[in-house]
Amino acid sequence: MQYCDLTDSVLLWSSEEVIVPYVSPLDEKVHRYFVDFWMKILNTEGKEECLLIEIKPKKRTIKPELANKKMTRGRLNEMREWIINCTKWEAAEKFCETRGWKFKVLTEQEIFGTKTV
């Protein structure tokens, strides 16, 4: 949020105000995805651009490894979270496509330039 406030190329922004509907493959019901950020920016070419940004820990953006691993409640929850996140992100990409916007998932690597272990 400080980045949005302090960066001249960020013209407008909001947090969790854009709602993207999606159908969960787990219960086949329509749900509402509140995307972390919407931004209107000036891109490197000086043109206005709208972005939807989701912030996630890097480990939540990688499909869980299940080969030769015991299926525990925790592993099931990781798989559910992965499935729902992928569904939300796909819906957000389609939502943005129809508006001429872009969708990005950012992790600590992109935000802070760090490597995860």
Residue 24 counted as domain residue: yes
* 33 inside domain: yes
Q: Is residue 106 very low, low, confident or very high in pLDDT (cuts 50, 70, 90)? A: very high
Q: Domain tally for the chain?
A: 1
Q: What is the pLDDT of residue 41?
A: 97
Residue 23 lies in a domain: yes
Q: What SS3 class is residue 73?
A: helix
User: Would residue 98 count as lying in a domain?
Assistant: yes
Domain assignment present for residue 37? The answer is: yes
Residues 70 and 50: their CA atoms lie apart, in Å, by: 43
Asked if the structure places residue 44 within a domain, the reply is yes
- Identify which of 34, 44, 43 has the alpha carbon closest to the alpha carbon of residue 14: 34
Q: Is residue 22 part of a domain?
A: yes
- pLDDT (0 to 100) of residue 73: 87
pTM of the model: 0.87
Q: Range of 89's domain? A: 2-112
Stated as kind and residue range, the H or E segment containing 76 is: helix 73-97
Assigned domain for 117 exists: no
User: Amino acid identity of 68?
Assistant: N
For residue 116, the model assigns a pLDDT of 54
